[in-house]
Amino acid sequence: MSGSDKFKNKQILVVGATGALGGAIARQLKVEGADLIVSGREQGKLAALTAECGGSSLSVDLSDSAGCVQLADAVGELDGVVYAAGVAPVVPVRYLKDADIEACLNLNTTMPLLLIRELLKKKRLKTGASIVWMSSLASVRGTAGYAAYAASKAGLEASARCLALELAPKRMRVNCIAPGMIETDMAEATAERISDEALAAHLKAYPLGAGQPADVAAATSFLLSQESRWVTGITLPVDGGFSI
């Protein structure tokens, strides 16, 4: 990361900021001059991130639409929104519980859409605002055990394309990022459920190896900025060449 004024005087909300990707994104944007509002479930991590990056923080439960309403009520006019919250139940379908599927679809697919709904209703998005949602390569690459997660991310991307068309007259942009294997706690937890041989074989599919949260943060910065002002409705793979 290098300091700049790319986002000077820009108000950007980062949801899911206590996760590895959300935290890296918040730090990148802060270095680039953004005025941050960060949101997450883990209050300790949220306090530490706010102490590091400044700005304001909101501890919000996004298990239902009330959390989206709370967020929209608490923020001012925004230049950018990043949704990096998510959950990934990795388990064969025969063992999937109803609650796991519902929680996955709710947090990964429904809440991003409801959050934007509330921000629009309360006129919290400025003309020209940029929205970035965190998706996954799982949306287009079938993997055993990922049925619920893949469905949630495919639905997210479909919503983003529709929303991009809907908001284009206001010069608002909506894009997704689809990370590959990023070294995070979530990825480590997933890796613990498969054999060392399977993990090694999977990593060989990445020409540039596994990625870092900073790689996703840099891509997010691009999609939020005016450098991508003619880009909307896409899903940007950040995957070290996995999807070649």
Nearest Cα to Cα of residue 239 among 214, 218, 209, 217 = 209
Does residue 149 have an active-site annotation? yes
Rounded CA separation 209/240 (Å) = 6
Rounded CA separation 147/142 (Å) = 8
Q: Which residue of the set 83, 95, 146, 149 is catalytic?
A: 149
Nearest Cα to Cα of residue 187 among 226, 215, 165, 161 = 215
- Active site residue ranges: 149
